[in-house]
Structure 1
Amino acid sequence: MKILVPVKQVEILDEDFEIRDDGRAVDGDYIEHELNEWDDYSWEAALQLMEKNEGAVEAVPMTVGPDDAEEGLRKCLAKGGERGIRVWDDALEGSDPIAVARVIAAVAKREDAKLVLAGTQSTDHGHAQTGIATAALLGWPHVAVVSELNYTPGADKATVRRELEGGVEEEIEISLPAVLTIQLGINEPRYASLRGIKQAKTKTIEELSPEDLGIPADQIGEAGSASRVRRMYVPEKGKAELISGTPAEQAKRIIEIVNELKGA
Structure 2
Amino acid sequence: MKILVPVKQVAILDDEFEMRDDGRDVDEDFFEKDLNEFDHFAVEEALLIKEDAGEGGEVIVVTVGDADADDALRTALAKGAERGIRVWDEGLADADGIAIAKVLAKVVEREAPDMVFTGAQSSDFGHATTGVALAGLLGWPHVAVVSKLDYAPGAASATVHRELEGGLEEIMTVKCPAVLSIQLGINQPRYASLRGIRQAKQKPVDELGLGDLGLGAGDVAPASRVRRMYAPEKGQAEIITGSAAEQAARLAEIIKEQRGM
TM-score of the aligned structures, taking structure 2 as reference length: 0.94
- Helix, strand or coil: the match of 2:211? coil
1:118 and 1:213 map into 2 onto residues whose CA distance is 20
Note the C-alpha offset of 1:150: 1.9
1:171 positional shift? 2.1
Give 1:21's aligned residue.
21
Q: In structure 2, do the counterparts of structure 1 residues 181 and 251 end up closer, same or farther at CA, with 3 Å as the change threshold? A: closer
Q: In structure 2, the residue corresponding to 1:173 is in which secondary structure?
A: strand
Q: Partner amino acid for 2:158?
A: A
Shift of 1:156: 1.9
Counterpart of 1:138 in structure 2 is 138
Unaligned runs of 5+ in 1: none
Deviation of residue 7 (structure 1)? 0.6
SS in 2 for 1:78: helix
Counterpart for residue 257 of structure 2: 260
Look up the SS of the partner of 2:256 in the other structure.
Answer: helix
Q: CA RMSD in A?
A: 1.8
The answer for the alignment partner of 1:212 in structure 2 is 212
Match of 1:225 in 2: 222
Q: Letter of the aligned partner of 2:253 in structure 1?
A: E
Provide the C-alpha distance between the structure 2 equivalents of 1:157 and 1:28, rounded to a whole number of angstroms. Answer: 43
In the alignment, does 2:158 pair up with 1:158? Answer: yes
Give the whole-Å Cα distance in 1 for the aligned partners of 2:102 and 2:240.
55
Alignment of 1:230-241 (within 5 A): 230-241=227-238
Structure 1 residues 139-193: Cα deviation after superposition (integer angstroms, max 9, x where no partner):
1111111112222223222222212233332222211221000011111111111
CA contact (8 A) 2:88 2:209 kept: yes
In structure 1, how many angstroms separate the alpha carbons of the residues matched to 2:205 and 2:78? 13
Instruction: Tell whether the 8 Å contact from 2:114 to 2:154 is kept in structure 1 after alignment.
Output: no
1:60 aligns with 60
**2:63–2:87 Cα contact (<8 Å) kept:** yes
The aligned counterpart of 1:189 is: 189
Structure 2: where are the runs of 5+ without partners? none
1:252 shift after superposition: 4.8
Deviates more, 1:168-177 or 1:141-150: 168-177
TM-score between both structures, scaled by the size of structure 1: 0.93
